[in-house]
Copies of this chain bind each other. A is one copy, B any other.
Amino acid sequence: MIKPLAVLNKSINQQVIVELKGKRGYRGILDGYDPHMNLVLKNAEETHENQVVRKLETTIVRGDNVIYISP
């Protein structure tokens, strides 16, 4: 048994996939998070329906749009 935030903690400095509402997604290195699942990603790619639409050096993704986070 592992808490969801503990999985985030173990994923720091690793590549994660983040899927948001509205067909939007991010791939990047997890650099931080808080208990609301707000995330800091580094070297992130934003995807829309699996197409890369943007590259972002650092980005804060708000947790309440998140559907899943996959390390």
Do the beta carbons of B59 and A2 come within 8 Å of each other? no
- The bracket for how many chain A residues form the interface is 35 or more
Do the beta carbons of A67 and B70 come within 8 Å of each other? no
Given A2-B32, A33-B4, check contact A67 B62 (CB 8 Å). yes
Given A12-B1, A31-B1, A32-B2, check contact A7 B67 (CB 8 Å). no
> In chain A between 48 and 71, which residues have their CB closer than 8 angstroms to a CB of chain B?
56-71
| Chain B residues near A65 (CB-CB < 8 A) | 21, 67
CB within 8 A of A64: which of B20, B57, B64?
Answer: B64
**A31 CB, nearest partner CB in chain B, Å:** 6
| Chain B residues near A4 (CB-CB < 8 A) | 32-34, 38-40, 60
